[in-house]
Each structure stands twice: as C-alpha cells, then as structure tokens.
Amino acid sequence: MKKNLVMAAAKGYSFYDLEPFLQSFKKNCTSADLVLFVDELSDFTTAKIKSCVENIQLVQIPAELKNYAIVNSRFVMYKNFLDTHTEYEKIFVTDIADVIFQADIFEKYSKQKNFLVYAAESITVGNDPGGFNQFWTKTFLGEEGFQKLKNKTVLCAGTILGSYTEMKNLFQKLLDSIFDKTSHGIDQVFYIYVIHNKLVPIKNLIKSDVETGEILTCSVLKDYQVADEKIKRGDGRSEERRVGK
C-alpha cells in the first residue's frame, strides 16, 4: 500500500523552534512519514526530535549542498529522495519554522490523482506590500519577465502538495530553472513562473485555501480569529508574528 510523505529542511534550528511543527504533525498527520533534511542541529535537538515523532527520518544535508541556500538545495534533496523511494503516493513539502498543521493535509485530497495543490496568497507579484516578490522577479527574470508576471497571484514555494509523479516533475523543472543556487527568492520566482505558465504537465492543478485551511503559515499572520480550535487568517500578510510558541 502506498504511503504519504512530508518533507522539510531544518538548518541551525533549536528543538523549540521546531516543536510547534513537530507536535502538530504528530497530532494531525498520522498516516504520513516525515523526512527532515538537517544540518547544524545540536545533539540535544536531534535527540528531542527523534523522541517527539516516531515516524521520522533525519537525513544529513550532503556536503556538496552545504554552501547552497537551503531554500534551493531542498529541491535537490526532495528530488533525489523520491528517485529512490517510490513507495509514496502523495507528498507534501513545506517550510518548518513558521508552519503548523491544523488538520490532516492528506485527508482532504485522498481521492485526488495526478494532481498538485498550490498555495496562493491574496496579493500579486506587482502589488506585494513588502516588495520582496517584485524585487526577486526583476532580479532573476528582468523587467520583461516582471511585466509578464506582475498581475499574477503570488504562490508560496514553501507549501506544496501533490502526487508522486507530479511532484518529481515539478522539482526537476525547478532545478532546471534555478541557475543561481545561492540566492534567496529565486525558488519562489521560478515556482510562480512554472505554475502560472503551466510548464509542468499536471492534470489537476488545485488552488488551496490559505485562509482557513489545514496548513497555517504563521510568519505572514496579522489579523486572525480562533474557531473550531483552528486559527483562521485575516488579511494573510503583515509583519512577522509567531503563533503557537
């Protein structure tokens, strides 16, 4: 029987940075395995992680990737892991320090086949209040590339769910595009570019609900309310505010 898999990367964190993510995974994703690609974790943190979650595998980041920005090298590691682990049916890759699970992310899409779920923000590349997506797009795609994407919705490269083949194809397309492995933001730009231009053949491309859904990204949280034991986002964008710590 095929299994579900969550993958994330953790470099230089303490256990207490990771605890909200780990505890929420343990509570909500009982059908999934968890693989963390790790570097610069203390022995204490490593031991606490292993004692916190049973169905977890810690994989050291390879030496040849240590000088890469982890937001880029993670896609290399995700692709390589799936190349040798075909037992998984659905895969969720995620940021870790500011993300918590509020429900089983796999349950909602249990009947989906040949699909990819993308998290769309409530802003476009051209009207990002912080200016990061605009800056990154102009830096990596130039003014012409920015003009083509400025009215497109910002998509989060930090939370992606899909079926096995679709995720592998996405990772390969991103790796073909991310030519500068050390720059932050380049992963986001090319993910937005690839999805909006439909450069990966995906039968079912699904927009996720980032306001009240199973996944909460805390670092972009401002206005919120709690209902049915879940945190519901308001405008979805603002200053950093850590929830659940």
Which of 59-73, 160-174, 178-192, 209-223 has the lowest average pLDDT? 209-223
- pTM for the predicted model, two decimal places: 0.87
Q: Say if residue 186's pLDDT is above 70.
A: yes
Q: How confident is the model at residue 232 (pLDDT cuts 50, 70, 90)?
A: very low
* Cβ within 8 Å of residue 135, ≥6 positions away: 185
Average pLDDT over residues 165-193: 92
Q: How confident is the model at residue 179 (pLDDT cuts 50, 70, 90)?
A: confident
Longest dimension (CA), the chain: 50
Q: How confident is the model at residue 178 (pLDDT cuts 50, 70, 90)?
A: confident
Residue 181 is predicted with a pLDDT of 81
Kindly report the average pLDDT of the chain as a whole number.
Answer: 87
Average pLDDT over residues 224-244: 40
Element (H, E) at 233: strand 230-233
29: nearest Cα among 103, 118, 90, 117:
103
Average pLDDT over residues 89-93: 97
Average pLDDT over residues 98-122: 90
